[in-house]
Structure 1
Amino acid sequence: ARTKGEIIGIELQERLADMAQRSIALNGLEEQITIENENVIGIAKKIGYELYDTVTCNPPYFPANDASARNKSEYYTIARHEVELTLDQAVKSASELLKQGGKAAFVHRPGRLLDIITSMRQYRLEPKRIRFVYP
């Protein structure tokens, strides 16, 4: 409702991509929003390098290591743990997609703040604003 711009959503999991597509149709937004059932890793090769004003991302929150308590559901594990996409890969992809001066927004946990900032600086994104949200 706040923009007339074209929106492209990237979703790795086919089931969730289908759910998003149905939601778009139910809201009559097919002309504005498309969903690609793809991996974020290397997505710029498919949809274009440095073409986008804004990239938003909700990457998996938890590193995929032996200490992390993974959900028994494969869907939740992929969404919450870095088994298919790491924070660095998400930030790198965002950097590849953004125009010079573009904006990136990441939804993440405060416990990973230093990891986020470190990764952003590595891939030429300079954090300007941080908003903490409390439940």
Structure 2
Amino acid sequence: MGGLLRPDEKVEELTRKIKIIQSKRGYRFSLDAVLLAHFVTLRPGEKVIDLGTGSGVIPLLLKSRQPDLTVVGLELQAELADMARRSVELNNLQETVFIQQGDLREAIAVFGTNRFDVVVSNPPYWRKGEGRINPDFSKALARHELECTLTDVIRVGSGILKPQGRFALIHRPERIQELIQLLNEYHLGLSRLRFVQPRLTEPPKFMLIEAVKGKFAKLEIMPVLVIYDEFERYSPELQQIFQR
């Protein structure tokens, strides 16, 4: 693979056309990133940024869904940013997918205001001090608000979005009130909402949201997405996502 793969890494198939480099032991993308990438509305020719891109899974999946996009992945951790760049190269997407290492809290200063048609983010779900912090620092940053908060993500997302641009995010349903307050504060009108349940008999584990900058329209509450069926297999909708 021309030096793209490190000894502690492996290549996995994301879709029939897209592959990703993954750590064998450290940070690995999870299902929530896949759900977000397949939820957000995309249109040909748009410029998209993923705040906190990790290993670059969301930019790669977005390009799989809509090839006519320019996508930026912004990642704080240098090692993950390097891994994401190599995954981009592995898929020959260097001309339209750009991985940048940096702090998302500084994104407005780096990119300027009103620059992107779409902002997506799979941010840390847990506030600092909530729950057990993973001893693996890379995983801890992905799960806990150690370097950025939900407020940071929404403030920055609104700032770099063009007017009428779309902001898509996945988070814990328990924080929905806080999330709606922040969206309103930063002039983002909630337009689509979908809850994700592990099983039909269980409460939602995730919520997928899409909001529009400067537009407060009718909210579309979508049917619940169920991950597993009664036989502990992926539901038909999940199977369809993974077969693309």
Task: Point out which structure has higher relative CO (alpha carbons under 8 A, 6+ apart).
Answer: 1
Residue 89 of structure 2: aligned partner: 25
Compute the displacement of 1:118 (Å). Answer: 1.2
Greater Cα shift, 24-33 or 3-12: 3-12
- Structure 2 residue 193 is matched with structure 1 residue 116: no
1:98 to 161, 170, 178: 161
> Separation in 1 of the partners of 2:91 and 2:83?
12
Q: Secondary structure at the match of 1:126?
A: strand
What is the distance in 2 between the residues matched to 1:118 and 1:13?
29
Q: CA deviation at 1:52?
A: 0.9
What's the counterpart of residue 37 of structure 2?
Answer: none
Percent identical: 35
Aligned residues: 134
Q: CA deviation at 1:68?
A: 2.0
Tell me the equivalent position of 1:125.
Answer: 188
Tell me the SS of whatever aligns to 2:109.
Answer: helix
Mapped to 2, the partners of 1:35 and 1:133 lie a distance apart of 29
- If each structure's strand is expressed as a fraction of its own residues, which one has the higher value? 2
- Name the structure 1 match of 2:131: 68
**Which aligned segments of 4 or more residues in structure 1 are displaced greater than 2 angstroms?**
none
Counterpart code for 2:131? S
Name the aligned partner's letter for residue 141 of structure 2: I
User: Displacement, 1:124?
Assistant: 0.9
| Bigger-Rg structure (1/2) | 2
State the TM-score, normalized to the length of structure 2. Answer: 0.53
